Amino acid sequence: MSDARVDIDPHHAARDLVSLVLTVIELLRQLMERQAIRRIDEGGLSEDQEDALGTALMLLDRTMTDLCEQYGLSRSDLGLDLGPLGPLLADDTW
């Protein structure tokens, strides 16, 4: 029996965890954005609601950028490879 050990760099593990959390948040942000666009296209929102929604989405996008920068990540670092299904986050082309 060999005494094989797995060396785990705590900094790398923490960065991977942050990347995973930010990936989930980015997925939710993209879904919310698409839902907002659908609601606007359907005409179900007033002009004030559209403005408020647009402002909220811009702030959320800016916050995502700030969080990525804070942890030394870029948006292209986010995502999961789902094998035959492809990447979890496409380059914003849904």
| pLDDT score for 44 | 83
Is residue 56 a part of any domain in this protein?
A: yes
| pLDDT score for 48 | 94
Is residue 25 a part of any domain in this protein?
A: yes
- 9 Cβ neighbours under 8 A, 6+ residues apart: none
| Cβ atoms < 10 Å from Cβ of 7 | 4
Across the chain, which distance is largest between two alpha carbons, in Å? 70
Structural domain tally of the chain?
1
Domain that holds residue 34: 12-77
pLDDT tens digits along 5-55? 655 677 777 888 888 899 999 889 889 899 989 998 999 889 999 999 999
Whole-structure pTM value: 0.71
